[in-house]
Amino acid sequence: MSARLVIAGFGHALPERIVGNDEVAGMIDTSDAFIRERTGVVARRYLAPDQHLADLACPAAERAMADAGVTAHDVDLLIVNTLSPDHHDPSQACYIQPRLGLREVPCFDIRAQCSGGLYGIEIARHFLASGLYRNVLLVCAEALSRRIDTSNARRNLSILLSDGAAALLLQATDEPARGLVDLTLGADGTRFDLLATEAPGARRPRFIDADDIAAGRHHFRMKGAPMFEDATRRIVDACRQMLDKHRLTIGDIGLVVPHQPNLRILDAVIERLGLPRERCMISVDQLGNMASAAFPVALSLAREQGRMPAGQLNLLVTYGAGATWACALYRS
């Protein structure tokens, strides 16, 4: 594959409703002080009751296409990553395809959880390298406010959850001075139970039933302390391995754009990498954890804020349930 992948267009969409910690404390047995201390989050975004995931995914996609200067007719492939789709099946990609005005192009969902942004870029890279596709639209969108458990059993995760969407319009370029330099993926299925949802699923006798709902099996279940350590270690290791592979130091990187799980994990990553805080893109404090949308939203915001000037080397890194992780070196 001689041509490099380049992000030709960026776009994101956030709900208008801003939910502060005091409002969350009215739904869940918690407090502003507890949330700030444990997570560093002060606000997150929730969809309005009459809004749906497509109401975020489509505007984000339209903005990415406009940013790249392409139309819906130019898109050859649509990839969507979400763990909170509008329908369990068929795919969210098929659901939003006609709403975006795309042709009858291939479209499918992936489920790489919070690593979906970089997993999606790697998948797109191979489609583009085939020469059969010129414009790949990648969308990561989440409506996690619809999956909040207000019981004390899972409040440590529920206080983080937020809604949002981001999209990237991906193309191939022959320009050596910009684009994707390298990207690595990883997964460790032995960590599957760190963050999982039991129902619905074919392991259940009826996929999902009233007993599952009564027992809360349809909500996320997270093992907080092991998740914190695994996420921190995987993110740091992935960054170090990428830097070592290319004989770089953290000082050569203009900006690190990580997944946004919570501020405490990012603090630990910053410390272990010896990264100046101003060179880490942080959005989780104001936007909460948007799962797969968190990384591309942060990336889109970084670009919008002028933090990715031309020629700069950027380190992009994600970690998600599964466990999955990915790291990319990208020259803007």
Length of the chain: 332
- Token pair recorded at residue 35: 């949330």
Q: Which position among 114, 140, 239, 280 bears the catalytic label?
A: 114
Report how far residue 289's alpha carbon sits from residue 293's, in angstroms, rounded to the nearest whole number: 8
Beta-bridge mates of residue 19: 44
Collapsing DSSP states into helix, strand and coil, what is residue 173?
strand
- Those residues whose C-beta lies under 8 Å from the C-beta of residue 328, and which sit 6 or more positions away, are 118, 121, 180, 181, 182, 183, 184, 242, 315, 316, 317
CB 222 within 8 A of CB 156: yes
Which ranges in the chain belong to alpha helices (H)? 21-25, 32-39, 54-68, 92-96, 116-129, 155-158, 210-214, 224-245, 263-273, 284-287, 294-304
For every residue of 265-328, DSSP letters joined together read: HHHHHHHHHT--GGGB---HHHH-B-GGGHHHHHHHHHHHTT-S-TT-EEEEEEEETTTEEEEE
Report how far residue 67's alpha carbon sits from residue 293's, in angstroms, rounded to the nearest whole number: 18
C-alpha distances out from residue 187 to 78, 140, 181, 194, Å: 24, 19, 21, 13
114 annotated active-site: yes
Report how far residue 109's alpha carbon sits from residue 92's, in angstroms, rounded to the nearest whole number: 7
- Token pair recorded at residue 118: 């970089």
**Furthest CA-CA distance within the chain:** 57
CB 137 within 8 A of CB 167: yes
Which sequence positions are flagged as catalytic? 114
